[in-house]
Amino acid sequence: MSDTPLLIAGLGNPGAEYARNRHNAGFMAADVIHASYRFTPWRARFHGAIAEGSLSDRKVILLKPMTYMNESGISVGAAMRFYKLPLSALVVIHDEIDLAAAKVKVKTGGGDAGNNGLRSITATLGPDYRRVRLGVGHPGSSSRVTSHVLNNFTKAEEEWLVPLLSAVAEAAPLLARDDETGFMNKVAVTLKPPVKKPKPAPAKDE
């Protein structure tokens, strides 16, 4: 187990008008993780809201940048510098339009795929941090992307969103163990539990 604290940053935009936007999936995930384990109350720091706790006996700092999505790097960078963390100790949770709705993938490094929050963090710290990508689906054309992510999840989408966020929170301790594959498997199994085969009926006496 790493002695280095883990910073989990959920991305979104502050303010009630953005609270249920698809772009705020990262905020929502951070809130569910916060509610699922013993964390301190949220408090203002690093141009964001932070809470401290532990997962799998590893110190974890949850962070919700309050800088607006496009300036996420200001908040994440300030926290990373304060705790003197390497990029390997950063996990960013964000919405992903290039992933089918309700899907979850973890990757390290790479491009920002048009996500301005990732772009800001990468410009501040470099690209080699882990990203938990929460699929919100693509609207079909690039001209509709902004309105897609800045609109609320629909009632129908809430039916998969709530279980998805719960599954991410349940699997979060595996992120603290640096077990990305285990995390993705746990989320998948939680969302689609294995089907139990019915027991064969006892043979009838002829």
d(CA 31, CA 37): 10
* 34 is known as an active-site residue: no
Angle at CA of residue 79, ends 136 and 81, nearest 5°: 130
Query: What is the number of other CB atoms lying within 10 angstroms of the CB of residue 52?
Result: 14
The single-letter code of the amino acid at 200 is P
CB 62, CB 45: distance < 8 Å: no
d(CA 59, CA 133): 22
Catalytic residue among 23, 34, 94, 148: 23
d(CA 61, CA 6): 6
Residue 192's closest CA among 157, 162, 161, 167? Answer: 167
d(CA 202, CA 199): 9
Q: Which residues are catalytic?
A: 23
